[in-house]
Amino acid sequence: MNKKFQRTVYSIYSFLKVDVSTWGSLLKEHHIDCMDEPASYSQRKAWFDCYNILIEEFTKLDLSRDLAENVFVIFEYELPRERGRRPDVLLLSGNNLIVLEFKGYSLENQAQIDQAKHYARDLRNYHEQSHKLNVIPVLVLAAATEVNHISDEVQIISRDNLHLFLESLTETRFKNINAWFESEYAPLPSLIQSAQLLFKENEFPQIKRAQSIGIPLVLEKLDQIIQKSNLEKTHNLALITGVPGAGKTLVGLQFVFEKYVQNKIQTGVFLSGNGPLVKVLQFSLGNNHFVQSVHGFLKQYAHSDKNPSENVIIYDEAQRAWDSEKVSNSRRDSKNAEPTDFINIGNRKNHCLLVGLIGEGQEIYLGEESGIGLWSDAVEQSKVNWTIHCPEKLQNNFQKSNVEIVKEFNLTKSLRTHQALTLQSWVENLLEGNFVTSKSLASKLFEEGYPIYVTRELEKAKSYVKLKYDKEPNKTFGLISSSKSKILPKYGVKNDYNSSKIFSVSQYYVESGCPFYCRNLTSVVTEFGCQGLELDMPILAWEGDWVYNNGWIDRVPNKKAKNSNKLRMNSYRVLLTRGRDGLIIFVPNENILNNTYQVLLDAGCKNL
């Protein structure tokens, strides 16, 4: 039998009989097994406070012996693959899974409510044996009396009322505790976690949602194209579109991994113009060859006699490729737009598959504004015939080319969050000023466990994330903001250029022992540092560059931009979609931001 099962699972009958010292010793062993360190004094005290409450309240239930032997209580259940996340107590009876989170307070706060709610959400969504159970989140206030109400779909109860609440929920035997405990738990990994799984353990994260939205089919279609290309010596451009978080980057990493690492004959490379993403992935993977900078790659091969060995080239966020003006200003070795350079490189090879991963609304730099049209121009000007493989919505961009429609190449659902499509719609309507629609979408997000809070007090936001993730040291939260305007530094949010340059993005996202690590809430990444990356709960500090006054206004327009307003809007589109569990928006208490704060409330954000 599983050691964790033996240490943490009891029937109510066996729990009422267990010696407290034996029970405590087993939990200490379990903690070391989960966390690789002894439990702290405060953690041990919380266990024994919980033990005393449950002994008292379970005794009051007065269950028959048969029922007491078949209603089960699980202490500190470690959510598999969740790096030590553990709800305090789970209770299983009949069709009910009751998630009990104990807090030594007399009043609840929002962070505690959301913590209990998210444990229940994740068990319901990711634990196979819990999909059809009635999962009930409960916050137990150990220092309160006579409390019994619901807040945000979480039952708030004082210790003295716990047995009354549980009476109707513990009337039926639970059939197979062993099967439940050993059930598959398949959470959504972050991009960094997924890349580490893929490269270090040779295992693509086989989460059910990835299968259901069609990622394996995309990989299969790409494999068919490259096999045909190898056989017939053809040149192919595959364009894969998708909403932010739809798994485009994972598709690219997985496909080039198969060609670069696992298959020594056919080589491939994953390229990105997103410098922070490249640095974080290289650091996380411990490998500088698998993932490379697109600009370094082109500098080496675009205008030389050298031919890259790779026949599979993946370009992430290909719609952000530089136009000729940006290239000539930055590299000075070319007058071509980047897509033209890529096509020319492919032309020198006897066969090639170039894969462009196309995001939507992610152009935030100068020179990125021409989009898919640059790829169309490059293919039309090529002396070698290229076949375009793309979803139907891109077909009209390549009217003079040979196009094969691949419906699987349009990823319309997201892996980033549980409700990412709704989140994308909320952001879109917010930025377009459709606040009635936004409010309705925000209500849906809250119901599904994705809160969006707004506050004018930064310390409230910091306290919330610290409390919410107090038992989850590997969950990430941190400060993000726009790079423009400069209202924020006087509030302690240092988004100025010099402050953002004293640390690396890998230190912010990955290096937990570093003073610049995101959870320390001292460093800030801007839209340029967080694009393509994510936090479980970001605190978005709103700057004075994008304000609402009878419409959204770009207060610091870039005169060099073809459409400065679009770039500024896209910056906030990026910033507003970085959260996996939810989002907090801090709006400084400045007159210029009063209307912005109000429209965020009108759009469905809740005051923290």
The domains of the chain are located at 3-181, 191-411, 420-607
Closest Cα partner for 334 from 297, 366, 279, 307?
297
In this prediction, residue 365 carries a pLDDT of 39
Over the stretch 411-428, which tens digit does the pLDDT of each residue have?
876 655 556 668 888 999
pLDDT higher for 357 or 200? 357
Mean pLDDT of 451-466: 97
At 213, the pLDDT band (50, 70, 90 cuts) reads low
Euclidean distance between CA atoms 64 and 61, whole angstroms? 9
- The Cα–Cα gap between 86 and 78 comes to 5
The amino acid at 178: N
Q: What SS3 class is residue 64?
A: coil
pLDDT classification of 4: cutoffs 50, 70, 90: confident
Assess whether pLDDT exceeds 50 at residue 368: no
Kindly report, residue by residue over 574-584, the tens digit of the pLDDT. 999 999 889 99
So what's the pLDDT on residue 206? 46
292, 383, 370, 380: which is closest to 338 by C-alpha? Answer: 370
Give CA separation, 171 vs 10, 14, 90, 166, 223, in Å: 17, 17, 16, 9, 54
What is the number of other CB atoms lying within 10 angstroms of the CB of residue 265?
7
CB 72 within 8 A of CB 11: yes
CB-based contacts of 278: which residues, under 8 Å, 6+ apart?
272, 291, 292, 293
Rounded distance between C-alpha atoms, residue 359 and residue 9, angstroms = 46
Residue 78's pLDDT is what? Answer: 87
Phi, psi of 475 (to 5 degrees): -75, 145
Model pLDDT for residues 22-36, shown as the tens digit of each residue: 999 999 998 888 888
Q: How many Cα atoms within 13 Å fall on the side-chain side of residue 454?
A: 19
pLDDT of residue 455: 98
User: Mapping DSSP to helix (H, G, I), strand (E, B) and coil, where does residue 142 land?
Assistant: coil
In this structure, the chain runs to a length of 608
More confident residue, 87 or 185: 87
What the block records as the tokens of 181 is 């405990």
Q: What is the DSSP letter of 309?
A: S
Indicate whether 554 pLDDT > 70: yes
Enumerate long-range contacts of 177-184, CB under 8 Å, 24 or more apart.
177/9, 177/72, 177/92, 178/5, 179/129, 180/92, 180/129, 180/130, 181/2, 181/5, 181/9, 181/74, 182/2, 182/5, 183/127, 183/128, 183/129, 183/130, 184/127, 184/128
Rounded to a whole number of angstroms, the CA Rg of the chain reads: 26
- Look at residue 469 and tell me whether its pLDDT is greater than 50: yes
State the CATH architecture for 191-411: 3-Layer(aba) Sandwich (3.40)
pLDDT at 363: 39
Report the pLDDT value the prediction gives residue 204, as an integer from 0 to 100: 47
Cα–Cα nearest to 188, from 205, 166, 168, 169: 205
Q: Is 238 helix (H, G, I), strand (E, B) or coil?
A: strand
Residues 483, 429, 211, 268, Cα dihedral to 10°: -40
Q: Which of 519, 477, 223 is nearest to 355 (CA)?
A: 223
Mean per-residue pLDDT of the chain: 87
pLDDT at 433 over 90: yes
pLDDT of 367? 37
**What pLDDT is attached to residue 195?**
66
From CA 312, how far away is CA 266, in angstroms rounded? 8
Rounded Cα gap, residues 229 and 226, in angstroms? 5
- pLDDT value at residue 289: 77
Q: Report how far residue 117's alpha carbon sits from residue 135's, in angstroms, rounded to the nearest whole number.
A: 10
Query: What average pLDDT does range 474-485 have in this prediction?
Result: 91
Is residue 385 within 8 Å of 402, Cβ to Cβ? yes
pLDDT above 70 (res 221): yes
SS3 content of the chain, % helix, strand, coil (to 5): 45, 20, 35
User: Do the Cβ atoms of 38 and 32 come closer than 8 Å?
Assistant: yes
Alpha-carbon span 15 to 531, nearest angstrom: 49
Nearest CA-CA partner of 110 in 540, 438, 452, 418: 452
Mean pLDDT of 478-491: 92
pLDDT at 601 over 50: yes
pLDDT at 196: 64
Whether 599 and 432 have beta carbons less than 8 Å apart is answered as no
Please report, for the chain, how many H helices and E strands are present, in that order: 25, 23
* Alpha carbons 117 and 139: distance in angstroms, whole number: 9
- Residue 202 vs residues 186, 190, 199, 253, 580: alpha-carbon distances, Å: 17, 17, 5, 12, 25
Confidence of residue 449 (pLDDT cuts 50, 70, 90): confident
Task: Give the per-residue pLDDT at 557.
Answer: 80
Question: Is 123's pLDDT higher than 80?
Answer: yes
Here the tokens at position 270 are 């994953």
DSSP annotation of 40 reads P
Strand bridging mode 386-390 / 352-358: unpaired
* Average pLDDT of span 516-529: 94
Hey, how many other C-beta atoms are within 10 angstroms of the C-beta on 71?
A: 28
* Contacts of residue 591, Cβ cutoff 8 Å, sequence gap at least 6: none
Give the model's confidence band at 201: pLDDT under 50 very low, under 70 low, under 90 confident, else very high: low
DSSP state of 131: T
